[in-house]
Amino acid sequence: MTTTAKPSPLLGRFLVLCAVIFMSLPSSLRSEEALKEQSDLDATEPGPLEAAKQDKPWLITPTLSADPKLGANVGALIAYLKRLDAESTPSMAGLSISYSDTDSSTAAAFSQLYWSADTRRLSLLAATAEINNEYDDFLGTGQAVKTQDNVHSYGFRYLHQLREGGWFGGIQGISTNYAVGADGLLEGLMTQVGLAGFDATGVGLVFQHDTMNHQRDPSAGHLFTLHNFAYRESLGGESSFDVGYADLRWYHSIKPLSSGRSQRPPVLALQLKGRFTDDAPLSGYSSVSLPGYTMGNYLSRHYSHVLLEGRFPLTGKLGLIAFGGVGCQFGEDITGKSLSCSDVTYPSLGVGVSYMLKEEASVLIRLEIAKGKSDNEALYLRFGHPF
């Protein structure tokens, strides 16, 4: 007797969304070409492309995520882009909202500010959410679990260039009533998580070496960051513990494979990341954070992963993405069982497409599907590169 594997419903959704993007591509390309031709005809005045860039600082994009554990989550992001000085990366301030079919809702206000020729950098975040999660296999126990939480989180990170060559130092802080994954909020926007949290307030130091050629879409250089959060009862939290991060991101352009149509070379991006805790309660443990896995579903005292991604431009705006990686847990899990990287690993593979929304600021969206081990899989339509 033979059985036939059922295709993943997420794969069907991914293919449909890809078809929509490709169907809308020709008209957008024709519009861009027409604007360029008109600009060439009038060399004495600013061309329509330049005028459009100056007159349209607003950005609006949909967001989407779907996986078997948390269901479908749809939302939108609206942001305002402005260059604070001629030599700095365009700054951004915005609002993100989302709603899921588990009746969960999130809202986050954020900003990424760059000034003084990128030597000063400030990230701010205020997020709130009502989260109702349904897990079919919570923490790998095989048990179905439902969680309900009201979340409030506030965070900041300030970086100041210490010396030329991309050497930065700074401070950061977080205050939240939901500890699992909260200290990762400054790396992106609100992420749904799944354990009951508690009040936690932490501050920390940041040391960074940044040689990237662009902050949002790098094609060369590296970003190495060491940072920590010291959560303390004296700051208003319910527990005192420490969390440390090491994060290396490396980028390399494959210029021989560049195409004249895209005018951008393919890029290999590599991330090596680790999260380490000391005296942390269960809600402060480290979660598997690779694509395809639900944040908070697999927890251990320490966690690390390696993730390799290829970014392949097809045109000036459209590109293909392929990625693969593996994560591992070590230390102890929430039951106190000792773990090692050789025993507990989490593979991740995925493909997707990217579309450049604002080329002058390298702001893009990505549609991707990711597959982990067992039934872990997810579909994302998200803003910007994950690293």
- Identify whether the C-beta of residue 245 lies closer than 8 Å to the C-beta of residue 226: yes
- Identify whether the C-beta of residue 104 lies closer than 8 Å to the C-beta of residue 192: yes
CA 373 – CA 94 distance, rounded (Å): 35
CA 231 – CA 239 distance, rounded (Å): 7
Residue-wise pLDDT for 312-323, tens only, equals 998 888 999 999
pLDDT given at position 118: 95
Residue 133 belongs to some domain of the structure: yes
* Average pLDDT across the chain, whole number: 81
Residue 342 belongs to some domain of the structure: yes
CATH classification at residue 310: 2.40.160.50
Residues 6+ apart with CB under 8 A from 236: 175, 199, 201
Residue 3 belongs to some domain of the structure: no
CA 148 – CA 271 distance, rounded (Å): 33
Q: Which two tokens stand for residue 61?
A: 């994009």
Taking the model in full, what pTM does it have? 0.80
Residue 1 belongs to some domain of the structure: no
Listed as ranges, residues in the chain with pLDDT below 50 are 1-6, 26-46, 48-53, 179-197
Q: Which two tokens stand for residue 101?
A: 């079919």
Single-letter residue type at 59: L
CA 171 – CA 34 distance, rounded (Å): 47
Strands (E), 26-137: 58-67, 71-82, 91-100, 105-115, 120-135
Decide: helix, strand or coil at residue 380: strand
Residue 62 belongs to some domain of the structure: yes
pLDDT given at position 176: 86
- Identify whether the C-beta of residue 378 lies closer than 8 Å to the C-beta of residue 66: yes
How does DSSP classify residue 336?
A: -
pLDDT given at position 186: 45
Residue-wise pLDDT for 278-336, tens only, equals 999 888 899 999 999 988 788 999 999 999 999 999 888 899 999 999 999 999 998 88
Place of tokens 């994302």: 380
How does DSSP classify residue 165?
A: T
Task: Tell me which residue range forms the domain holding 249.
Answer: 9-41+48-383
Residue 345 belongs to some domain of the structure: yes
pLDDT given at position 363: 87
Residue 2 belongs to some domain of the structure: no
Q: How many domains are there within the chain?
A: 1
Residue 4 belongs to some domain of the structure: no
Single-letter residue type at 282: L
